[in-house]
Structure 1
Amino acid sequence: MSRMLRASAIMAAGTMVSRLTGFVRTAVLASAIGVAALGDAYNIAYTIPFILFDLLIGGMLSSVVVPMIVKAQKQDADGGRAYEQRLMTVATLALLAIAVVGVLCAPLLIQLLTTDLTPRATEVATTLARYILPQIAFFGIGAIAGAILNTRDRFAAPMWAPVLNNVIVIAVGLTYHFISRTGGDVKAATSSDLALLGLGTTAGIVVQSIVLIIAVHRVGFRFVPRFDLRNARLGEMGRAGVWTLAFVVFNQIGFIVTTNLATGATGKAIEQKLGHVAGIASYSYAFQLFQLPYGIIAVSVITAMLPRMSRYVHDGDLGAIREEFASGVRLVAAVIVPAGLLLMVLGPAVTVLIFAHGSTSVTDALNMGNVLQVFGLALVPFSIYQLLLRVFYSFGDTRTPALIVAGNVVVNSGLSFVLYLTLPPHLIVMGLAMAFTASYVVGGVAAWTLASKKVGGGLGGRIVASGLSRMYVAAIPAAVIALIALWATQELAGVTPLSSAIMLVAGGGLGVVGYLVISQRMRIAEISSIIGLVAGRVGR
């Protein structure tokens, strides 16, 4: 536990700064371009490189590439250096080709991801996509460099590099805000406006990748292009990657369904002359906020956990895998449980404070906050689900996660379609968040059952359930405190960015303090460990 906690703390610090600057970035962009048609067009274009990266390489990183690098480090006479160079060579060539093809196919990609966009919004989204798509090459190369760093237990650079990316895009958003008169009006957006937004976004990823390349160079990796690809184990990677590709394809099918239904909600609102309702931009921004606690603690634990579990599998130590997983779940839940409850209460206060400026109105921000409240329900099942998948990946098993995610997508997409057809336009995106939550509850149950069989002795379900129950007992009073502060502030001051700040300071602050005090009284070990680590570092 202590070793995982120390490694996770290093990553959590970088991730926290990255996520916080990411929120500033998102708030600046939302203020500059809004969450209506221009905001939707930008968010659609921005997601395309990530979709392509996940489809072709990203999904391979955690499930195939990291375990194979660890295997090469253990088995190859040179400690896996030649294998890493071959891997970087293949990735660089493939990503450059993908970037070129993506730019050429941008109109088709926009059509695939959207429903009922206006012709002008479609044109803007396509132009932005062409500016943003080249970043896939730099993003992918940086991700491979990050994987190499992770296998050497160097976690700081991959967690801190995105901060520079965020700073650059913040500067781009501020520049747009001050020099452009377009605001969020998609019809008035000029070619120079779109070039600033698109190329500025790509510049952030370029700088992030350069930082990671420098970091991997400092730990001794020297990139020498190697074209002796017969020794690159591409066949082995391909066999393992077939199911990984299926996993990513299923996930992206689910995402495509979500983006189409979210843009369809906006189209319905326009047809019914209801004004702007939550669309894909609101869904995307709420999802980013939802991922803050997950990104700070769960991603940090997952990143530290996977290389160690891969080594335990190689050594045949199943008991160590069970212990590592159970410790990881309890450590993650200690933060995720109260965070989920507080998001359910304070979601609108968070979004009004961050987004209700410039081209984004208070009403738009409240719509986004309602979506965030629903996402709060998903935080615990989503995080545990992600931890469970790493159990399979440590065994080199990519087939089981692919089958699990297929069921997950069926539940998510099926329920999303039902809610899209039955809910009024202003509730559709909230319904999509609810479908997301339900799918991860179902998927988590299936993944737990199968992972328990995989490790041959269960995953300590009773111990984990007992720990979660105690954490909820400690966290519910915190949520009640936050709810009282929310109600009192709304009664006295209404809903404004200033009153929302008061709600968060009073409700969130008192709630967190209450949770810490109660958990200490209940002797929840994970909270005590986190407090001890933070106190020790502050005291240095």
Structure 2
Amino acid sequence: MKNSIGKAVSVVLVMNLATKILGFVRETVIAYGFGASFMTDAYLIAYTIPYFLQAILGFALVSAVVPVLTKYLVDENYDETWHVASTILNLTALVLVLVTILGMAGAGLLVKITAPGASLELARLATYLTRIMFPSVVFMGVGMVISGILNASYKFAAPAFAPGFSNIIIIASVLLFSSRYGITGLAVGTLISFFGFLVIQIPVLKRVKFKYHLVLDLKHPAVRNLMFTLLPIILGVAVNQINLALNRVFASWLAEGSISALNYAMKLMSLPQGIFVAAVVAAVYPTMASFAIKGEKKALTDTLFRGLGMVSLIAIPAAAGLMILRVPIVQLLFERGAFDHQATLATASALLYYSLGLFPGSANMVLTRAYYAIGDVKTPLYAGFFSIVVNVLLSVALMNPMAHSGLALAHSLATGANTLFLYYGLKKHLPYLKGKSLIISLGKICLASGIMALVTWLGAVFLGTRMDLTMGRNLALLVLSTITLGALTYVIAVILLKVDDVKMMQDALLKKFKKQADRTK
């Protein structure tokens, strides 16, 4: 089990890395073309609802589909699997076409809800862009169902790379059409990118011998169970996006560019989650679902702890690194064209406070999937409502003294509250959930991350006083060298501290090298 999870994580990790690199090329290209400006704010407001549905409904569909199909795949009942999968695909497409019609008709109202403080001119442009991009939710929904089918069949590469293919299309649309069509070209490119997200996964369905049926069997027990559990899952998955949307609502009353600064900071903070944490979640979720179906709670708990250990190994040092290098990283990635130094400082300030929520948010992703594997869809919902209340109260309290940075801090603290709620609530399902070993491991990782942060800061100060950082080459050298220095320091520290997951990887590598050495004799 451990080896299979490791291989799956490796596959998804590579695909996610490519996707995230493309994602940041996309953000850099958009920043170069439009900056933190009126047009960018309008695009982001318009993209709020499609992205909201993508992040919520899309991941909810994957979360709901995997356990439903795993039940039949475990028994190798493929005819029933494809019958249920086809019904889910057809139902998703039908519902989202209706949602799209309503969304396009009510675009003006949606903009008023998502950005009530926007000026009339900004709201008018955002409404226009919303109508262009809204049909993307159909392609997104069907594409995410296909991702769930492939993940349940232990095919991870195509679903992981599909967002990267989508990013390529958006990059091309900015480079080829923004000078002629402006922000409209970006909106059309975004719509086409979602279609690409769907299409690129279709060939892989043939490899799992998927058989599509034009069927809408709403009376099937599995389909009815999915419809019963989907709404709580949607609301549970929606929590983070609701909190981000609330950030934008509150930010619409702040200085121009606040929405964009929060967006760019969130993109940076989400980089480790999108590359590594998403890989771990995608790999462990089908395994947890399989153990839950078989009633093997000890194995499920072990898999959960393995997942939490693996995400903490990356999320904690990544948060520390982002805090230390926040200004040079933002400057290197975005400060060009219309994105000036003031925008860099605003984005870096938001990144500092968003980074505090990196580990809680990563752990939350693993814990939530454990609940869904067990079949408890209500507890994540209750935890989510609690975090939304925390976020609203803290946002109101912090936005005046701290501006947009207070909204970032409120989001991180609300995420932490959500994660603690989920962890302690899971003990009623898993009697083997003992936190002592996890706490010891987290303590070692925090210590190693602290050492790394100190070395990284000293390295940045040393190089920063000896370089002209207005030159892009020098800035890139500073960022890359300090990241490398910090990474090496962290690796040495976790090895010396004998962190469990690192020791496990060491043993696996040594075993592999020993086998290879024996073969060469």
If the length of structure 1 is used for normalisation, what is the TM-score?
0.89
Distance verdict in 2 for CA 1:201–1:479, change over 3 Å: same
Distance verdict in 2 for CA 1:387–1:412, change over 3 Å: same
Q: Secondary structure at the match of 1:265?
A: coil
Please name the residue that 1:64 is paired with: 64
Give the Cα separation in 2 of the matches to 1:284 and 1:533: 40
Q: Secondary structure at the match of 1:264?
A: coil
Q: Does 1:24 align with 2:25?
A: yes
Distance verdict in 2 for CA 1:239–1:163, change over 3 Å: closer
Q: Secondary structure at the match of 2:200?
A: helix
2:450 to 466, 476, 484: 476
Q: Secondary structure at the match of 2:323?
A: helix
Distance verdict in 2 for CA 1:80–1:125, change over 3 Å: same
Give the Cα separation in 2 of the matches to 1:350 and 1:115: 32
Please name the residue that 1:408 is paired with: 387
Distance verdict in 2 for CA 1:503–1:9, change over 3 Å: same
Could you tell me which amino acid in structure 1 is paired with residue 195 of structure 2?
A: V
Deviations 1:268-305 (A, max 9, x none): xxxxxxxx5x5111111211111111121111111111
CA RMSD of aligned residues (A): 2.2
Could you tell me which amino acid in structure 2 is paired with residue 228 of structure 1?
A: D
Please name the residue that 1:352 is paired with: 331
Give the Cα separation in 1 of the matches to 2:312 and 2:377: 25
Runs of at least 5 residues in structure 1 that lack an aligned partner in the other structure: 181-191, 267-275
Give the Cα separation in 2 of the matches to 1:126 and 1:527: 50
> What is the CA-CA distance between 1:54 and the residue it aligns to?
5.1
Please name the residue that 2:319 is paired with: 340
Give the Cα separation in 2 of the matches to 1:77 and 1:217: 13
Give the Cα separation in 2 of the matches to 1:514 and 1:228: 56
Q: Does 1:486 align with 2:486?
A: no
Could you tell me which amino acid in structure 2 is paired with residue 174 of structure 1?
A: L
Please name the residue that 1:526 is paired with: 501
Which stretch of structure 1 is more off in the superposition, 22-31 or 292-301?
Answer: 292-301
1:462 to 424, 436, 449: 436
Q: Does 1:216 align with 2:205?
A: yes
Give the Cα separation in 1 of the matches to 2:18 and 2:237: 28
Q: Is the 8 A contact 2:45 2:114 kept in 1?
A: yes
Give the Cα separation in 1 of the matches to 2:246 and 2:156: 34
> What is the CA-CA distance between 1:499 and the residue it aligns to?
4.0
* Matches for 1:20-419 after TM superposition, within 5 Å: 20-53=21-54, 57-58=57-58, 60-74=60-74, 78-176=79-177, 179-180=179-180, 192-231=181-220, 233-248=222-237, 251-266=240-255, 276=256, 278-419=257-398
Deviations 1:517-536 (A, max 9, x none): 22222233423555788997
Deviations 1:316-353 (A, max 9, x none): 11000110011111111111221111011011111110
Give the Cα separation in 1 of the matches to 2:507 and 2:274: 21
Give the Cα separation in 2 of the matches to 1:115 and 1:495: 39
Deviations 1:257-278 (A, max 9, x none): 2111112112xxxxxxxxx5x5
Give the Cα separation in 2 of the matches to 1:494 and 1:533: 44
Deviations 1:235-264 (A, max 9, x none): 322322342244356555433321111121
Deviations 1:179-210 (A, max 9, x none): 34xxxxxxxxxxx3243111111111111210
Q: Is the 8 A contact 1:489 1:502 kept in 2?
A: no
Q: Secondary structure at the match of 2:98?
A: helix
Distance verdict in 2 for CA 1:378–1:36, change over 3 Å: same
Give the Cα separation in 2 of the matches to 1:293 and 1:532: 25
> What is the CA-CA distance between 1:53 and the residue it aligns to?
4.2
Which stretch of structure 1 is more off in the superposition, 59-68 or 410-419?
Answer: 59-68
Give the Cα separation in 2 of the matches to 1:250 and 1:306: 19
> What is the CA-CA distance between 1:221 and the residue it aligns to?
1.1
Distance verdict in 2 for CA 1:291–1:486, change over 3 Å: same
Could you tell me which amino acid in structure 2 is paired with residue 354 of structure 1?
A: L
Distance verdict in 2 for CA 1:400–1:92, change over 3 Å: same
Give the Cα separation in 2 of the matches to 1:330 and 1:52: 30
Q: Is the 8 A contact 2:62 2:144 kept in 1?
A: no
Which stretch of structure 1 is more off in the superposition, 66-75 or 217-226?
Answer: 66-75
Give the Cα separation in 1 of the matches to 2:490 and 2:252: 39
Please name the residue that 1:189 is paired with: none
Which of structure 1's runs of 4+ aligned residues deviate more than 6 A?
531-537
Q: Secondary structure at the match of 2:412?
A: helix
Q: Is the 8 A contact 2:115 2:252 kept in 1?
A: yes
Q: Is the 8 A contact 2:297 2:430 kept in 1?
A: yes
Q: Secondary structure at the match of 2:182?
A: helix
Q: Is the 8 A contact 1:19 1:292 kept in 2?
A: yes
Q: Secondary structure at the match of 2:252?
A: helix
Q: Is the 8 A contact 1:165 1:205 kept in 2?
A: yes
Q: Is the 8 A contact 1:146 1:216 kept in 2?
A: no
Please name the residue that 1:513 is paired with: 488
> What is the CA-CA distance between 1:387 and the residue it aligns to?
1.2
Could you tell me which amino acid in structure 2 is paired with residue 504 of structure 1?
A: V
Give the Cα separation in 2 of the matches to 1:462 and 1:241: 34
Please name the residue that 1:441 is paired with: 416
Which stretch of structure 1 is more off in the superposition, 243-252 or 474-483?
Answer: 243-252
Give the Cα separation in 2 of the matches to 1:205 and 1:529: 39
> What is the CA-CA distance between 1:78 and the residue it aligns to?
2.3
Which stretch of structure 1 is more off in the superposition, 518-527 or 78-87?
Answer: 518-527
Give the Cα separation in 2 of the matches to 1:40 and 1:252: 17
Q: How many residues align?
A: 510
Which stretch of structure 1 is more off in the superposition, 71-80 or 253-262?
Answer: 71-80
Give the Cα separation in 2 of the matches to 1:328 and 1:471: 15
Q: Is the 8 A contact 2:217 2:223 kept in 1?
A: no
Give the Cα separation in 2 of the matches to 1:138 and 1:509: 39
> What is the CA-CA distance between 1:511 and the residue it aligns to?
0.7
Give the Cα separation in 2 of the matches to 1:474 and 1:232: 50
Q: Is the 8 A contact 1:32 1:359 kept in 2?
A: yes
Give the Cα separation in 2 of the matches to 1:21 and 1:196: 19
> What is the CA-CA distance between 1:217 and the residue it aligns to?
2.9
Give the Cα separation in 2 of the matches to 1:492 and 1:83: 63
Distance verdict in 2 for CA 1:524–1:415, change over 3 Å: same
Could you tell me which amino acid in structure 2 is paired with residue 23 of structure 1?
A: F
> What is the CA-CA distance between 1:392 and the residue it aligns to?
0.8
Deviations 1:378-409 (A, max 9, x none): 11111112211111111111101000111111
Q: Does 1:6 align with 2:4?
A: no
Q: Is the 8 A contact 1:83 1:232 kept in 2?
A: no
Distance verdict in 2 for CA 1:377–1:255, change over 3 Å: closer
> What is the CA-CA distance between 1:233 and the residue it aligns to?
4.0
If the length of structure 2 is used for normalisation, what is the TM-score?
0.92
> What is the CA-CA distance between 1:11 and the residue it aligns to?
0.2
